[in-house]
A and B are shown apart, each in its own frame.
Chain A
Amino acid sequence: MDALTAARWQMEVSLSFHMIFAAVGMAMPFMMLMAEGRWLRTGDPAALQLAKTWAKVTAVLFAIGAISGTALSFELGLLWPTFMVFAGPMIGLAFALEAYAFFIEAIFLGLYLYGWDRLRPSVHWLCGWPVALSGTASGILVVSANGWMQGPVGFTLGPDGMPTEVDPLAALFNPAWGLMATHSTLSTYQAVGFAAAGTYARALLRRGRPERGAYNRLAVTIALMLGGSTALIQPLVGDLLARRAHEAQPAKLAAMEAQFRTERGAPLRIGGWPDPESMQTSWVIEIPSGLSLLATQDPQGEVLGLEAFPRDEWPETRVVHPAFQVMVGAGFTMLGVAVWYWLARWRDHRHGLDWTRRGWLLRALIISGPLGFIALEAGWIVTEVGRQPWVVYGVMRTRDAVTPVTAVGASLAGFAVLYGALAITLVWLLSRLAASEQEPASGEYGARHAPL
C-alpha cells in the first residue's frame, strides 16, 4: 500500500472513530441535564438514576473522544505535514478556540462526574451546563477548519506556493462554516438522541421489568426531544448545504448526485450505481428535473456534471453518491419515525392510552437507533471524499500533502487494531452497563463512593 492510500485510510479510521465519541460528547450532556433538571423539579427518582447513568456513559465516551481527538490533532501533521505547514496559520485559530472550549468541558465534566456528593444539587446541575455548551461550541469551532478546507479564504497564494497576506479571522469565519456547523451539530444531537431512544425502546418492548417502565419511558422521551426535533430541521439545513455545494463545490454536488453530464432539467437520482467509465448510472430511480429544482430553484436550471471538470479532479462518485443516498435515506427514515412517534404520543395522550403499548412504534425506534450515526458517518464521507482530490479545495491536492514517511501502512495497521480493540471493549462495557442498569435499583452508582 502506498503512503497516500495508507494515510487516507488512517485518517478515515481515526476520523470516523472520533466522530462517534465527539457526537456523544456534544449531545449526551444535554440529555443528562434534562434528566437531572427533571429530578430537581419533580424529585422523580427515575430521572435522577437516568442522569447518573447517562453521566457515566458520558464519562467513558467523552474520554475516548478526548484521546481520539488528541490523536487527530497530531495526525493532521503526522499524515499531512505539508498541508499543516500551509494551513496551520489559517485553521489554527479555530483549533485554539476549540481548545479553550474543550478545556472548559473537561474541567466541568470532572466537577459533574465526581461532584455528586460534593456540590449542592443545584450547583451540580449548573456545572453540567458548561459541559454541554462548550461541548457543542468545540464541535462548532472545529468544523470551521473543515469549512476552510472546503472553501479556503483569508490568504493569497504567494509565488512559492505558500500563503501570504494571511487573515486568520477571515479564515475562521469562512463562508462554508455556518451551514456546515449547523448541519454537523444537529447531526450529533440526532445521532445520539436516536441511539438512546432505540436502546430504551428495546427495554420497553421486552417488558422484562415492569418497574423499570417509567425509567425507560422517560429515557425515550428525553432522547427524542433532542433527536426527534433535530430530525425535523435537518433536511432543511441539508437542502441549503446542497445549494451551497452547487455554487461553491459543483464537482462535489455532481459526484453526490451521480451527475456526469452538464444539463438543464437535471433529474434527481435516487439510489443506483454510477459508472465513471461509461458515465451512466444503473438501477437508478430518476425524478425528472428534480436536481435542477433543488439546486437552482428552477426546473430548467443548469447543473454542472463531472464532465465539466478535468478527469483527475473528479471525486470518487462510486463512494460519494452511495454515501449521500445512505445519509438522505437515513435522514428521511428518522424524520418519518419522529413524526410517527409524536403523532402517537399526541393521540395516546388525548385518549389516556399508554404509548409504550405500541409495539410497532417501539420496533421502528429500535431499527432507527443506529440510523443517526450511520447518517453522520455517511455525511462526513460525502464531505471529505467529495472534496477529493483536494485537501484544500482548489489549492492543494491531497497527494501533495502526504508525509514522506514510507511505512504509513504500519501506523495504519496499529491504529486500526487499537481502535478496533477499543470499540469492541466499549460495546461490551456499554452492554454490561445497560444490563446492570435494568436490574433492580441497588444504588450501584453509589458503590463507587463507598468508603475507600
Chain B
Amino acid sequence: MEPDTLPSEALPHLAGLVALLSVLAYAVLGGADFGGGTWDLFASGPRADEHRAAIGRAMGPVWEANHVWLIFLIIILFTGFPAAFGFLSIALYWPFHLVLAGIALRGAAFVFRAHGQAATGWTTGWGWVFGAASVITPLLLGACLAAVSSGELRLEARAPAPIAPLAWLSPLALIMGPLALSICSYLAAVYLTLETGGEVREDFRRRALGAWVVAGILSIGTLFLTYAEAPHLWAELTGPRAGPIVAVGILLAPASAVSLLQGRFSLARILATGQVLLLLLGWAIAQWPYLVYPDLTLVNSAAPPATLSALLWTVPFGMLLLVPALWFLFAVFKGRNETGGR
C-alpha cells in the first residue's frame, strides 16, 4: 500500500474505472445471456426448439461466470463508494428487489430446465419463467442506469431519509429499460449466429437485424429524451469528452448491420460488441465524475483511501487468476466456430 504515490483524488477515480469495467463486461456478457433468454421466450416458427437448444448450449457453460461481473460491481460499490451504495439501496429499493427476483428466477429456471429435463420431463413451464425473467431484468437494470443519470434521485440533507418509491421511474428510465433489453437481444442474436448454422443461423441473423432496428429507434429516442429531460446529460453526451466516443459508437451501428447482412458473422460480433461498449463508455464519460447525478460523485461518496488502495491492489492479482481462467473457459466453449450445423 503506497498511498503517497498517487494523489488521493486519483484513488476514487481508479476505483470508478474498475467499476466501469465491470459494467462493460456485464453488459456485453451478462447482457447477452438475458438476450438469449428473451429469444428463448419469443422462439417461434418451425425451428423454435432448435433455437432454444442453441440458446441453452451457448449459455450453459458461461452464464454463471458472466453473472459474477454484477456481483463485482456491487462489491466495488459498497466497498469503494459506501455512501452511494447506501443511497441507491434506499432510492432503488423496489427496482433492485425486482432485479433480484428476476435474477433468481432466470437462473433457477435455467438450471432446472437444463439439468432436470431428463428426470422430470417438464420444460415448458421453466422455459417460460426463464424467458420472462430474462426480459424483465434488463428492463429494470436499464431503468436503474437511467435513474442515476437523470437527476431525479436527490439526496436529502439528513440521510438516510425515505425517498419516494417511484422516484426512479422517470421518462428516461421508461425508454432506457427497453433500450437495454433491445441491446441485450441484439448482442445475443449476433453471438448466436456464430454458434449455429444453416437455417437456425439465418433465423438469428434476421432476429439480430430486427433487434438492431428497434435498438436504433430507441437509441435515437433516448438521445432526444435526454435533450428534453436531462439537459446536463445531453450537453455531456454531445460535448468534447464523450461526443467523439458516442459518435464512433453510432457509426459502428450501421457497420455491424452491414456485416450481418454480408454474413461476416465474426466481424459482426466484434462490431456489435464494440458498438455497445463505446456507447456505454460514452455514457460513463458523460456521467463522470457522478455516481448519482447531481449529489453523489466518485470523490464525495468514496471510502477512505486505505480501503480504496486495498481494493485496487486486489485487481491485478485477481486478474492474474481470472484472465487465464476466463480465456480457458471461452477457448473451450466459444473458440471453435460451431457452424457445422451439428
The stretch among A75-83, A214-222, A247-255, A292-300 that forms the contact with chain B is A75-83
Q: Chain A's interface: helix, strand, loop or mixed, by majority?
A: helix
B67 touches A66 (CB 8 A): yes
Report the Cα distance A451→B165, complex, angstroms. 50
Of A84, A100, A119, A445, which one neighbours B78 at CB under 8 angstroms? A84
Report the Cα distance A123→B330, complex, angstroms. 16
- B contact residues around A447 at 8 Å (CB): 118
Report the Cα distance A414→B321, complex, angstroms. 38
Judge if A406 is at the interface, Cβ distance under 8 Å: yes
- B contact residues around A260 at 8 Å (CB): none
Min C-beta distance of B148 to chain A, whole Å: 15
Min C-beta distance of A415 to chain B, whole Å: 8
Min C-beta distance of A5 to chain B, whole Å: 17
Q: Mark B317-342 against chain A: 1 for CB-CB distance below 8 A, else 0.
A: 01001100110110011000000001
A104 touches B322 (CB 8 A): yes
Judge if A99 is at the interface, Cβ distance under 8 Å: yes
Of B71, B83, B342, which one neighbours A73 at CB under 8 angstroms? B71
Which chain B residues in 200-214 approach chain A with CB under 8 Å?
none
Q: Is the interface on chain B under 10, 10 to 19, 20 to 34, or 35 or more residues? A: 35 or more
Chain B residue with the shortest CB-CB distance to A118: B332
A60 touches B111 (CB 8 A): yes
Judge if B44 is at the interface, Cβ distance under 8 Å: no
B62 touches A70 (CB 8 A): no
Of B64, B72, B83, which one neighbours A63 at CB under 8 angstroms? B64
Min C-beta distance of A262 to chain B, whole Å: 38
Judge if B53 is at the interface, Cβ distance under 8 Å: yes
Min C-beta distance of B317 to chain A, whole Å: 8
The stretch among A88-96, A305-313, A385-393 that forms the contact with chain B is A88-96
Which chain B residues in 57-111 approach chain A with CB under 8 Å?
57, 60-62, 64-65, 67-68, 70-72, 74-76, 78-80, 82-83, 85-90, 93-94, 96-97, 99-101, 103-105, 107-108, 110-111
Of A62, A97, A405, which one neighbours B93 at CB under 8 angstroms? A405
A99-B311 contact in complex given A77-B78, A84-B82, A414-B101, C-beta closer than 8 Å: no
- B contact residues around A395 at 8 Å (CB): none
Report the Cα distance A66→B54, complex, angstroms. 24
B119 touches A432 (CB 8 A): yes
A88-B303 contact in complex given A70-B100, A95-B79, A104-B322, C-beta closer than 8 Å: yes
Chain A residue with the shortest CB-CB distance to B52: A452
A435 touches B119 (CB 8 A): yes
Interface, chain A (partner B; CB < 8 A): 56, 59-60, 62-64, 66-71, 73-78, 81-82, 84-90, 92-93, 95-97, 99-100, 102-104, 106-111, 113-115, 118-119, 130, 163-164, 166-169, 403-407, 411, 414-415, 418, 422, 425, 428-429, 432-433, 435-436, 444-445, 447-448, 451-452
Top 8 A-B residue pairs of the complex, sorted by shortest distance between their CB atoms: A92-B79, A77-B89, A88-B82, A89-B303, A110-B61, A85-B86, A89-B307, A81-B86
